[in-house]
Chain A
Amino acid sequence: MSSKKSSAPKLDKQEDCKGSFLNLPHEILDCILKQLSPKDLFMVAHVCTHLRNNSRSDYLWNQHVEHKWSKLVGEDFHNEWNYHIGKIRNEESLVLHHNQSKSYGNISGDHPYQRLHSYLKSNRALDDLIKNHSQMALYICLETGRFWFPIQIYKATKKTLYCYDALVSYDSRTNTFRARSTNAGKRLVERDIDWERLRKPPPKTFLVDYYEYNNLNDLKPGDRVEIQKRRRRAFPYHDWVYASICHFQSCDQDINHCSCQDNDLLNMMIYKRSSIHKYSMSKRMRHIIRYEEFNFLNGIRKLTDEEIGKWRNLDSTL
């Protein structure tokens, strides 16, 4: 059959309808395939070699990954996934002997402070898929919980609202997540975490020592922020604590005459249910060492309206 893209009229006689479904250009076959659920795409792969090959395209599976997972898939996620793909492809070129089952990455490492790395449970057949049909493989790895990926988990205690870094894997039976994180050298395992408690880490916030926010001078009373707060001195993990910028006591808090924004000191209020905890810091003291003086503060992020909505929602539900 002639190319679909051809501008010339294609009025030639085509083959008999029955056989010609398999002769359709793949983008026309895709019109049908893209309407199928993941389950049905797996089913048509078993029909014949032509449908098997066409049902595995990245184009088709990317839309399923997007549809279900885009909320949690961000830059860190892709970096980790690409790392695993690269590793599998490299191993291939080294002609290593594969075990039937193996894993990549390491949750704990040798040292208790070692960073969290994503983790992929694979096998030979899955390796083949990852190499040749990476989006389909990604969907499978997510759906079956084989891929532990970077995430941030919302947490509300009586004292604070905060987010922490973790690895999660999906449990399709319960539609919840399992999480692994580290606290003071101990590995924590949690279960039954709902979708609503997860977020993809905003850019440059996952496992960073110091978040550089360059526009501290723009912050004004009323702004909502997340403060990167070290859990313990000399311990490399941080939480992102929900807070707001507030007026100084000396300020008359008149929005038209407020002098707080000109002040070198930044006054912050960490939300607590029972009490209000205030911090102040100098805008000029940006270096990590100096922040530590302020109860392990490491960085500040100004929040978007969407992020603020999420925190408020969390506050009312947890």
Chain B
Amino acid sequence: MAEEVSSQMNSLSISETNPSSSATISLVSGDDIVFKVEPTIAKEMETVQSFIDETDGKITTIPLPNISSHDLPYVIEYCEKSIAGKITKEFEAEFVKKLNNEEVKELFLAANYLNIKKLLDFLSQVIADRIANKSVEYVRRYFGIENDFTPEEEAKLREELAWTFTGVDPDDEDEN
């Protein structure tokens, strides 16, 4: 799969001498790498499409400062599969296998930024799966989040947890 991605990258990257033709859209990553894609792929990315629409299709080079050239090929790959109607469980399983935690988070933010609903839903599930059944500390590390509770708030949470999943005694004092 890695080879496939890199070959896609080659085919998608363009030379600077070749100006954007009307048949393709150029996506420029945050680190200034240009990816040429079919206009149909841009349609999958709502943010890109609305940019094109607002300029009546005159501008076909679109800067995406928040997305790195590392992440963009993954996004493009997913969109291509989506257009081809080939998003299967197997594809998604393979797709996510290639990604480490940091990449999953970056792609999630990219999907949000580009407004790609399907990819966002898929990555939401991936992130949820990766933090399911984990400890609070693990989730803090996963998201890079600091504990910002006051001691009082922490005590209150502990108290809540104590009775949250503890059943009340059956048939107790309210019997009579």
Contacts and interface: CB of A to CB of B under 8 A. Distances in A.
A12 B63 CA distance: 9
A140 B165 CA distance: 7
B63 A48 contact: no
B124 A21 contact: no
Interface stretch (B17-25, B31-39, B149-157): B149-157
A40 B127 CA distance: 12
Interface in A18-44: 18-22, 24, 28, 31-37, 39-40, 42-44
A107 interface: yes
Instruction: Identify whether the interface residues of A are mostly helix, strand, loop, or mixed.
Output: mixed
A52 interface: yes
A223 interface: no
Contact of B163 (A48, A103, A125): A125
B140 interface: yes
Interface stretch (A2-10, A79-87, A235-243, A295-303): A2-10
Interface residues of A, number: 57
A70 interface: no
Given A11-B65, A107-B174, A125 B160 contact: yes
B3 interface: no
B66 A13 contact: yes
Contacts of A42: 161, 164-165
Given A31-B120, A43-B134, A49 B163 contact: no
Interface stretch (A171-179, A207-215, A224-232): A171-179
A121 interface: yes
Interface in A172-195: 172-173, 178, 189, 191
Nearest to B121: A31
B11 interface: no
A12 B164 CA distance: 43
Given A9-B47, A17-B105, A46-B157, A36 B149 contact: no
29 contacts: A8-B50, A10-B47, A10-B113, A11-B47, A13-B65, A14-B109, A14-B113, A20-B109, A21-B109, A31-B124, A40-B128, A42-B161, A42-B164, A44-B131, A44-B136, A46-B136, A47-B143, A48-B146, A49-B149, A52-B157, A125-B156, A129-B160, A143-B165, A144-B165, A145-B168, A146-B168, A171-B170, A172-B165, A172-B167
- Report, nearest first, the 3 A-B pairs whose CB atoms are least far apart: A35-B128, A9-B51, A31-B124
Given A14-B113, A22-B145, 6 more contacts: A13-B65, A14-B66, A43-B139, A47-B145, A129-B160, A189-B171
Interface of A: 4, 7-14, 17-22, 24, 28, 31-37, 39-40, 42-52, 103, 107-108, 119, 121, 123, 125-126, 129, 140, 143-146, 171-173, 178, 189, 191
